[in-house]
Structure 1
Amino acid sequence: MKKKPNAIILAGGKSTRFGSDKAFYIPSNETKTWVELLVAKLIPVSSLIYISIRQEQLQKMHTLFSENKQVCLVTDLNEVADYGPLGGLYSLSRHLNDESCLIVPVDVPHIQTADLKLLCRNKNVYVETAKHKHYLIAHLPSFQTEISSCIQNHEHRVTSLLKKLHTTPLFFENEDAFTNQNTKIPPNE
């Protein structure tokens, strides 16, 4: 049986445009937060799920996942706090072995496990749809060396990492599944 990749949820963003922490947002038709919903979708396709967070999220995340042995919380390192998602990935890279990882931001609530399974079957790819390149939804090979190079060169964009890895797009039809939510979803949607 083929080994499942690890997964990384990027949940440490400040959610400024959203107005509150996206990781802990509960849509009106749900009882679970976005981060809990995403973990549930990743469990069938991944061995271990790392959640990249800010220090101030730690207690609430611990409350949500302390019983789940498949989830590991990793706080962002202070020295890369202003690097955005790349800083979160760098902070996590210290915990990874030489293995591939699925990467998903917490603000894609419509992604499906079937989409994640397709990503698992393809290596060194990011999601592309007709309208967008979704660089933060990817299945990457081991990237410790390349991300260290990005940080040393003060490169702040995830695209710098993808370029160093020679990552290619994987096309998906369903645009809505990968749309990130930068504004709160109105009630009853």
Structure 2
Amino acid sequence: MIGLVYAGGKSTRFGKDKATYHVPGLPATNIELAVEKLTPFCQQIVVCANEINRAHILELVGQEPAVQIICDIPPYDHHGPLSAIIACTGHFSTLQDYLTLAVDYPYLTKDSLAVLARTSNSYIATSQHNHYSLAHFSVSNEQVTTWVDNNDDWRLRSFITNKCVCHPLKYRSSNEFSNLNYREVDLNEK
């Protein structure tokens, strides 16, 4: 299985780069935590960074033998997670199994990720939110680029549910599924 970390966002609402941010009280930066959580389940981990945070991410996790740092590729760049999926799948010639994790879920536990890793064609959902960036699916580069070219639909939700036919893996709502869209979230008590 290939781990894919979405780490290329602009972090506009958060105000700082979320990938390289170190949440107070946690043992490492968000990117280090994401890689550590994926490592038990994935033979290779691909981190999709952006041009601005790529060098810092390389310093933090680039020395890990199973980790590869990439950026979006034209003409499919700057469209969020689907751009990352296209860039990642372009490194593999065949259909692959992917376990995806957005870098802004620092409280996600390895136990929840283990269940997701064991459940093909799924994404994590709570009563309050569907977490499409926490997903497990199989896809090839040809399939994802054809999807985008034919549908002109860059929404991760549409791709995950319609193309990959993923189903919700239901969890109770908790801080574990809080993502860091705003800096105030990082002060939540665990």
Normalised TM-score (structure 2): 0.90
Task: Tell me whether 1:20 sits opposite 2:19 in the alignment.
Answer: no
Residue identity matched to 2:71: T
- 1:91 matches 2:87: yes
Corresponding residue to 2:65 among 69, 75, 90 = 69
3-state DSSP of counterpart to 1:44: coil
Give the Cα–Cα distance (whole angstroms) in 2 for the partners of residues 92 and 12 of structure 1.
Answer: 12
Alignment counterpart, residue 119 of structure 1, candidates 112, 116, 141: 116
In the TM superposition, what is the alpha-carbon distance from 1:183 to its structure 2 partner?
0.8
Aligned alpha-carbon RMSD (Å): 1.7
1:152 pairs, out of 137, 149, 157, with: 149
1:120 maps to a residue whose letter is A
TM-aligned CA distance change 1:106 to 1:126, over 3 Å:
same
Alignment correspondent of 2:49: 53
Q: Note the alpha carbon deviations across 1:52-85, whole angstroms, 9 max, x for none.
A: 1112222112111232101111111132223111
Q: So what's the TM-score if we normalise by structure 1? A: 0.90
Q: Which amino acid aligns with 1:116?
A: L
- Which sections of structure 2, spanning at least 5 residues, go unmatched? none
- Taking the aligned partners of 2:122 and 2:26, their CA distance within structure 1 comes to 31
CA deviation after TM superposition for structure 1 residue 87, in Å: 0.9
* CA distance in structure 2 between the aligned counterparts of 1:72 and 1:168, rounded to whole angstroms: 28
SS at match of 1:23: coil
Q: Alignment identity in percent?
A: 29
For 1:167-186, what aligned pairs fall within 5 Å after superposition? 167-184=166-183, 185=185
Aligned equivalents of 2:178, 2:147: Cα separation in 1: 26
CA 1:129/1:187 → structure 2, altered by over 3 Å: closer, same or farther? closer
In the alignment, is the contact (CA less than 8 A) between 1:35 and 1:106 conserved in 2? yes
**Does the aligned pair in 1 maintain the 2:97–2:137 contact within 8 Å?**
yes
* Larger helix proportion of the pair: 1
Q: Which moved more, 1:171-180 or 1:36-45?
A: 171-180
Q: Does the residue aligned with 1:41 lie in a helix, a strand or coil?
A: helix
Contact kept? 1:102, 1:137, Cα under 8 Å: yes
Cα distance in 2, alignment partners of residues 62 and 50 from structure 1: 12
SS of residue matched to 1:81:
coil
2: CA distance between counterparts of 1:159 and 1:180?
17
Q: Deviations over 1:81-140 (max 9, x none)?
A: 231111111111101342211011000111111111101111011111111111111001
Superposed structure 1 runs of 4+ greater than 6 Å apart: none
Amino acid at match of 2:164: L
Equivalent residues of 1:150, 1:160 under 8 A apart: no
Q: Does 2:135 match 1:128?
A: no
Deviating more after overlay: 53-62 vs 17-26: 53-62
Task: Judge conservation of contact 1:146–1:165 (CA < 8 Å) in 2.
Answer: no
